């Protein structure tokens, strides 16, 4: 079987899985909200497994089970429980569509999401934040002195360094989080349902992983461990996705002489910035 037929089969399989999941979601919701219509004794058949999304699929099925169990007890289903199920379903279907499109949007070196997908994906999270109030956190992790590291390792070996860091980044993620390689030794994590405190926890986990499994660099007979500097930001609804990353990069640049630092970037709405400017007696900052 040639590559074209293989791709066509994979595409057809994923399209069928998406169709099954649309029906499955309808069955779950009808059984939860219309018990008089659905036979409560009938088990809802689980859709076929998707190996590439096994963790997220398990989370979704567990969320559905909790929703069905709550509704079966004769109590009203909480908004939080329903919202968690719908959010996981939306994210799972979004990931299925990514797979169905043939993995487009992935960085070839690291296997993370590609740089040109960061802003569109963040814009989608900003919409969720504004519409549903679901917090999310952005972590920016930069290899310290990335150009120097590339020079020390050589252009042939530098991709292996990026892959190693990307692997550590992946270990920090949950099934519904996203990670990106932005280029020039810079990694971005989008952490769903997480505030800045949770983002700080992820940064600590990442740096701990790097200390446990260090990347050693050699220069003039001396050996140094590779280090990362990170910035954590919890966006507010008025933010622009591109502006968030620009501000985080600027914050890290102010401390470029330091290594292995972690900063928390506090986002402010345009109104907050205006009020702050007036309160300090200076010219107000324009939104």
In which domain, by residue range, is 16 found?
Answer: 3-100
Split at pLDDT 50, 70, 90, the class of 259 is low
Work out the mean pLDDT of the chain and round it to a whole number.
Answer: 81
Per-residue pLDDT at 103 = 57
Does 40 score more than 60 pLDDT? no
Q: Which residues contact 227 (CB under 8 A, 6 or more apart)?
A: 143, 144, 210, 259, 260
Give the separation between CA 95 and CA 92, rounded to whole angstroms. Answer: 5
Kindly give the pairing relationship between strand 178-183 and strand 216-219.
unpaired
One domain, residues 25 and 144: no
Residue range 239-255: mean pLDDT, rounded: 89
One domain, residues 89 and 145: no
Give the separation between CA 7 and CA 104, rounded to whole angstroms. Answer: 13
One domain, residues 244 and 191: yes
Considering 41-55, 74-88, 205-219, the range whose residues carry the highest mean pLDDT is 205-219
One domain, residues 127 and 61: no
Per-residue pLDDT at 249 = 92
One domain, residues 121 and 47: no
One domain, residues 90 and 152: no
One domain, residues 238 and 169: yes
Beta bridge partners of residue 178, listed in sequence order: 190
Of 186 and 132, the structure prediction assigns the larger pLDDT to 186
Query: What's the pLDDT tens digit per position in 167-205?
Result: 999 999 998 899 999 999 999 999 998 999 999 999 999
pTM of structure? 0.70
CATH code at position 236? 3.30.70.270
Per-residue pLDDT at 284 = 35
């Amino acid at each position: 079987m040639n590559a074209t037929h293989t791709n066509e089969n994979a595409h057809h399989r994923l399209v069928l899985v998406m169709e099954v999941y649309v029906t499955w979601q309808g069955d779950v919701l009808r059984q939860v909200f219309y018990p008089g219509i659905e036979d409560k004794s009938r088990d809802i058949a689980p859709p076929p497994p998707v190996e590439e999304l096994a963790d997220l699929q398990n989370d979704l099925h567990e969320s559905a089970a909790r929703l069905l169990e709550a509704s079966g007890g004769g109590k009203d289903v909480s908004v939080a429980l329903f919202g968690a199920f719908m959010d996981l379903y939306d994210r799972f279907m979004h990931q299925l569509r990514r797979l169905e499109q043939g993995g487009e949007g992935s960085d070839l070196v690291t296997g993370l999401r590609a740089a040109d997908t960061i802003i569109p994906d963040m814009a989608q999270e900003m919409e969720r934040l504004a519409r549903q109030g679901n917090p999310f956190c952005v972590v920016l992790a930069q290899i310290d002195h990335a150009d120097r590291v590339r020079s020390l390792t050589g252009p042939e070996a530098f991709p292996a360094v990026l892959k190693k860091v990307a692997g550590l980044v992946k270990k920090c993620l949950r099934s519904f989080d996203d990670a990106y390689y932005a280029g020039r030794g810079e990694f971005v994590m989008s952490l769903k349902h997480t505030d800045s405190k949770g983002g700080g926890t992820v940064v600590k986990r990442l740096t701990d992983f790097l200390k446990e499994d260090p990347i050693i660099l050699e220069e003039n007979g001396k050996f140094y461990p590779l280090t990362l500097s990170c910035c954590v930001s919890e966006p507010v609804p008025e933010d622009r996705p591109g502006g968030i990353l620009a501000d985080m990069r600027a914050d890290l640049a102010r401390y470029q002489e330091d290594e292995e630092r972690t900063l928390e970037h506090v986002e402010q709405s345009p109104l907050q910035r205006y009020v702050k400017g007036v309160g300090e007696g200076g010219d107000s900052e324009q939104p």
